[in-house]
Structure formats: C-alpha cells, structure tokens
Structure 1
C-alpha cells in the first residue's frame, strides 16, 4: 500500500471512475494456482480495476495477477500460524484505507461499485494486508533490532544531507476532456510505467503535453519547493532525480512530473561537532607518549594511569569552539578511543577522544561519565526551531520500519520460492 497516491490524488482518480475495460471472456476459469488455492480470471479482472481506481503505479493484468498471488501467500502464511482477522479488525482497516481518499468505508465501497469493482475485492485486499502485518509481527519482530550505532549513523546522515528547497522539473500535461479521462489516465500510466529517462520523457512531452513547455520537452526553470502547491510538495519531495511522479489527475487533465535535479542547503550548525574527551597532565612528553601507547580506550585510561593519576583525569564534553586550541587541534586527528600528546610547558597533556557527534544530534543528557560540574549540559547547543533534525526516537522508528519492511519483502520472496505456483 505504500505506493499509492496521496489522498487528494486518490480522490481525484475515484471521481473520474477511470478504469480499463474488463477482460472479454472466460473470466471464471482458473488464471493461476497458488499451492492449493485458485485465482480466477474474474478475480484478476476485478483486482486490475481496483488497482486502477486507487492509482497504483502498475495496474495491468500481469500486475493484478502477481498482487493476487502475493495475497494468497500472505493469507496462507497467516493460516499456518493461526492468525485470522476479526470483523472489527477488518472494518478498522477498511475505514483507515478509505480515509486516505477522504471517505468512510461505505462511501469508498460505493465509489468502487460505480467503477465496476465489487466490495469483496476491497475486503479481500484489506484482509490480506492486515493478517500479513500480524505474520510479520509474529515471525520477524523479535529478530529485528536497531543498535545505538545505527541510530548515530542515520542521524549524522540526516544532519549532513542538505534540506531540499529547489527543484528542476519537467512537466507533461495530458488533456482529459469530459468522456476521455480514462484514455488520458491510461496514457499517463503507460508513460510513467516505462520509467523514462530525461530524453524519453522530453520526447513524450513534445508528443502529448498540452502546455507551452512541450516545445522544450516539458522543462521548467528552477523552482522553489515552497512555491509548489502544498498537496504537490510531498509527491515531488519523495522522488529521486531521474524519477517520474505517479499520474496526478486534475480537473481536465492528467499530469506527470520528471525530477531532473534538486538543490538544497545545509541546516544551520550542521558542520559543528560536540566532542567527549579526556585530558591528563603528566610530567613530560615522554611519560604522556608512553601512556598513550598503552591505553586502549577512554575507560582503560583510568586503569592504565594508576589510582593516583586517575583521580586527575578530566573528562569533558564541549563544542569545538569551546576547547583550547592546542587540544582541539590534536583531537581533530584522533578517532574514538585514540590518544595523543600535547606539550604543555615543562609537562604534557595526554588527550584521548571518547566520541564526536554532530552538535545538532547532541542530546541534553549525554551518555558519558562526566559529572554535572564538567558542564556537559552547557556544551550541547539548543536545536534551532527551523531546520531541526529528527529525534533519536524518530530515527530509531524509521530505521526499524525500513528494516522490518525489507525483512517482510524477504519473507514474501521465500514464500514464493517455496510455493507451487502454476498457470493452466
């Protein structure tokens, strides 16, 4: 369900009632066998109609057949471990899905029936998705874990990724006069489904687009993302350069966009770092160098230094600008749990880096052994309201969803590999 259009676009598709013609004959003959289950040609036709109504990116006969095979496997996997959907669960799932089009379940079913889709198709679709979530929860959830290191890496990636605020688009606007909406939508689906490159999209724009930009292959000048309609921004923001948007039905037309390139700016403070580090003043450079050569980590320093010297170890967490220049310069070349030496008059400072993280990712409670008087809290800058970054919990949830979805796709692939799937 993750490939469907936004609620606004979905509602527009439903409003047109645009679906492909039904398969001509022999609809109730078996179309494919999935283990002991049969999928009929009628079911394939109905699923194809349903997929076209909801704006699925691929909604032909073959895509409908493959979707039904997957649903049979999902339901069979649920039955094997005793998972069944309750009437309340089915109704809740139907209401949730219908709400994406701004409707309740009854209204959504009425729209489907006007487009020639039986209500049982919608119910079966929701049932397969609901029981599959329970299968995934039972079989994959206990094995899916997200480490703190994964969160740190993803958070740093998010901070260092520019915020997209300008886009280079090409447009293709296919006229859809009254009575010709279905043909326009089918043409748009064929173009988008072919996954055109920039040159191919430009050729299609010259051939089919009804706007002045068609002469330039649909190419538009650099646009600020904020200048686009609010309903369109998330659709464009979800694309990668070189991708085509799903067909977007609007009044009198169907629109496609091709994302040529993006431009962005770094968040304020994205390059700033907060360092957790140790220092220990020793009598000479030689003493500091000898200890640096033996110590294996920040916690190990207290042991290697001995009880008397360990009491003199200073652990601090500070932004780069607040660290003395000589120490900051030495820390710049160190990895975590690596030590160096900074001469200090007649003696020397042993300097050890415990961790470094983007300042924007630093939390108010830093997990280090520093005491409150070490100034940990003061070292962490406040996140700016604009251009802020997601919380660690939000990042963890996103990583979990990504990992569980990948695992679910793998599980479904395994079910396919083990199944007996044949066509008459």
Structure 2
C-alpha cells in the first residue's frame, strides 16, 4: 500500500538550487556539473536533516536525496537548471525508493533462505574498479571515488547504488535464469523476422524510454523527455542519460539497441526514424505506455540478395529414369532424411548408404541456384532438410546450413538466444519490482 504525505518538493528543490549554485529565479545558464567543487560537500548534521521519504519504516533523508541528485547529474552529464531540477529530484527519489524496496527484499530472502545475496565490500570494490577502467583504462576505483568526492558525492552514496543494483541483478538472474527456456521455435521465429525484414531499410539506433507509469503519467513523461532532449542537444552524452533515466532493458548498455528494421519498434518510432538522418536526435515520441527519445546513429539500405549455405545428398538417375527407378530412389532418400541431424554429420550419414553421393554446395545467392532448388532453399530454415527434389541428374536432398542477407552480418544462434533471454529477465525484474512497490508503504514528504 502506498500513502503520500504533504509534498515538500519545493523545499528540496530550493535546497538543491542553493547547493548547485543556482540562485532562486536565476535565468542564466548554470555552470557545467563536471567542474569540480573546491572541496567535497560535507554531510550535514544528522539532526538538521529532514525526511524526504519513508519506505516501510526505512528513512530516506534530504541528504540522501541531495547526494543522489548530484550523482545523477555527474553520471548523466546533465547541467542543473531551474527547469530540470524538479525532474532530477523526482528521478533521484524514485531511484532511492526502488533501491530501498529492493534491499529490503534481498535482506528478507537472505534471512528466509539463509543464503548470501547482497554483494560484499570486496565485490563492490571490484565493480567500481571495472567502472573506472571502462571510463579510463588507467583509472583506478579509488581515483574514481576521489573524483566523485571532489564534486560533492560521498563514496558511500556511489557504493550503495552499485551494491544494490548488482545484488538485485544477480538475484534475478540466479533465481529465474536457470528456469528460462528460449525455445528453438522462438529463435527460428526471430531469424525468420530478420530474413523477412532484411530487404527493408535498417537503422542503428540508441533509445531512452520513459515509462509513464513509473514517472507519474504521460504528461510528466513528455515533459521529462523534452527536458532531456534539450540537455542532450546542449552536450549531455546520450549513453549516460540513457543509463540514468531510461526504463528500457537497453539502459545498462547506454541505450544501444543495435540494428533494427521497421516493425521491431512501435509504429510511432518507425515513423520518426523515416524522417531522421544519421547523427540526429528525435523529439519526444509518445507511444502507448510512455515516451521514446531516439538517436539515429546510422542507416543503410536493405540487403538485396539472400545468401544460403547448402549441402546435398544425391541419388544419381538418368533424365529418362523409369517411375520404378524414381520410386526406389525416393524411398532411399526419405529413409535417410530423419537420420541427418546436422550439416556437420550429413556426409558421414549419407556415406553409410550405397549409391548415394553427398557434398557441400557452398554459399550462393538463392536466385543463382538451379530452379529446382530455389523454392526449397527459400522456404527451409537453417538446419532443415528438404524432401527429395528431382533434376535431370537424379533425386536430391538439400540441407540448409546457413542463411544470411548480403551486406549484413546476421546474429548467431547464441547471440539471438542471449538477447531473448535478457529481454525475459528484464521483464521479470520489472514486474517483480512493481509488485514490491505496490505492496510497500511509501510516504513522500
């Protein structure tokens, strides 16, 4: 159950304006957040702190909120303005509430199941080292924490965020990852959609998605997206903004969606992509349940040629073979077909039957194949084997060992499986957290 006390956002925002050097009513552009302060911001006396929110009896103080707002701006590259401070305050508070709910659940599970889930200090240190090296190969975790401290963010603020986020992801993956089953039918359906869309224009995009239900409604999502677009146009890095504000599963990768074709995203996004040029940022794009911001990194024309990698088993027959001879050959190939379990074993399997010839036909454009093979090669999926095909040289089984479109490297079987598994885990995590929030008692002040 959620309850909301009288809002005290105005006092928090006024405090933030003073903390970030923004006089009330200031109209001029503020200094960049990246410029380090002269000294770390000291923690105020605990007695002077106010309560920003209460989550199941756990307190989020005004100091916690101010620290998260600072970290949010530094990590996203946003500059504080009088207009975006309310959005930053709301996002920081939402993140802190989510983390308190997650940490409470992790502690409950640890106690109930007598297991260790929450990351240790050593594990957090290792993750901070990895983050530092990702930003600068020569930077250490200690140097990163010192850099944050010089800009007013305490080490514990950053460490707590890393600890909860990593612990939650590990818990979701450990609890549900082994239960998830990405079936071959799902992978083949994905491959089929890619093959069908390969002739269409393709877009390399990054995304930010603001979930309307999370931010307080569609109007709030549109206003927030508008401010983020303005900030990115002024220099805030898209990947950093995506990591901090996006609700999409791609947020962890800086919003990188990769190459997509029309039909893979909502129709409103497809329409916007048609109007963008590489290097352009979209305006906010409202959809059914939120708002997208799209950055078009590159664009390419659809592939014109479908390439197929084939192997065959042939039963030699003269062009004028009798129906009886054709029937014998057909029965031999139909009996062999179920035994061909993969392209790798095709030749060895066929070699056990006298009179059959097996071989690798290599990769070719489907349109360049013999007419008798074209229809089968186009219809079959990777790993499938045709029924007997008659040509002037005999009867043939063809096995499709690979398919791709010219000019584009299709994702591998494992890459598709990992992508689908990641999408399912992200959805589970989102629903799990939503249920925890709905059952929690949350007061904001």
For normalisation by structure 1, the TM-score amounts to 0.54
Q: Which has the higher contact order (CA 8 A, sep 6+)?
A: 2
Preserved CA contact (<8 Å) 2:310 2:402: yes
Preserved CA contact (<8 Å) 2:65 2:89: yes
Q: 1:68 aligns with which of 65, 89, 96?
A: 96
- SS of the residue corresponding to residue 34 of structure 2 reads helix
Preserved CA contact (<8 Å) 1:278 1:315: yes
- SS of the residue corresponding to residue 15 of structure 1 reads coil
List runs of 5+ in structure 1 lacking aligned partners.
1-11, 169-189, 211-233, 247-256, 303-308, 361-383
Preserved CA contact (<8 Å) 1:274 1:357: yes
Equivalent positions of 1:282-301 (< 5 A) are 283-284=322-323, 298-299=337-338
Q: 1:318 aligns with which of 338, 346, 361?
A: 361
Does 1:124 pair with 2:163?
no
Does 1:194 pair with 2:236?
no
Does 1:32 pair with 2:32?
no
> For residue 331 of structure 1, what is the aligned residue in structure 2?
376
Residue 13 of structure 1 deviates from its aligned partner by 6.7
Does 1:16 pair with 2:61?
no
List runs of 5+ in structure 2 lacking aligned partners.
1-30, 42-46, 79-83, 111-116, 206-221, 236-253, 260-268, 284-292, 342-351
> For residue 244 of structure 1, what is the aligned residue in structure 2?
281
| Alignment: residue pair count | 311
Residue 162 of structure 1 deviates from its aligned partner by 8.8
Does 1:420 pair with 2:441?
yes
> For residue 51 of structure 1, what is the aligned residue in structure 2?
72
For normalisation by structure 2, the TM-score amounts to 0.52
Instruction: State how far apart, in whole Å, the 1-side matches of 2:61 and 2:186 are.
Output: 45
> For residue 170 of structure 2, what is the aligned residue in structure 1?
134
Instruction: State how far apart, in whole Å, the 2-side matches of 1:157 and 1:56 are.
Output: 37
> What CA deviation, in whole Å up to 9, does each residue of 1:384-409 have, x standing for no partner?
9x975655545544444444333333
> What CA deviation, in whole Å up to 9, does each residue of 1:351-403 have, x standing for no partner?
5554363168xxxxxxxxxxxxxxxxxxxxxxx9x975655545544444444
> What CA deviation, in whole Å up to 9, does each residue of 1:273-292 have, x standing for no partner?
11345555574299659969
Moved more, 414-423 or 391-400: 391-400
> For residue 122 of structure 2, what is the aligned residue in structure 1?
88
Q: 1:326 to 1:154 in 2, by over 3 A?
A: closer
> For residue 390 of structure 2, what is the aligned residue in structure 1?
342
Does 1:410 pair with 2:445?
no
Residue 61 of structure 1 deviates from its aligned partner by 0.9
CA RMSD of aligned residues (A): 5.3
> For residue 107 of structure 1, what is the aligned residue in structure 2?
143
Residue 143 of structure 1 deviates from its aligned partner by 1.6
Q: 1:37 to 1:13 in 2, by over 3 A?
A: same
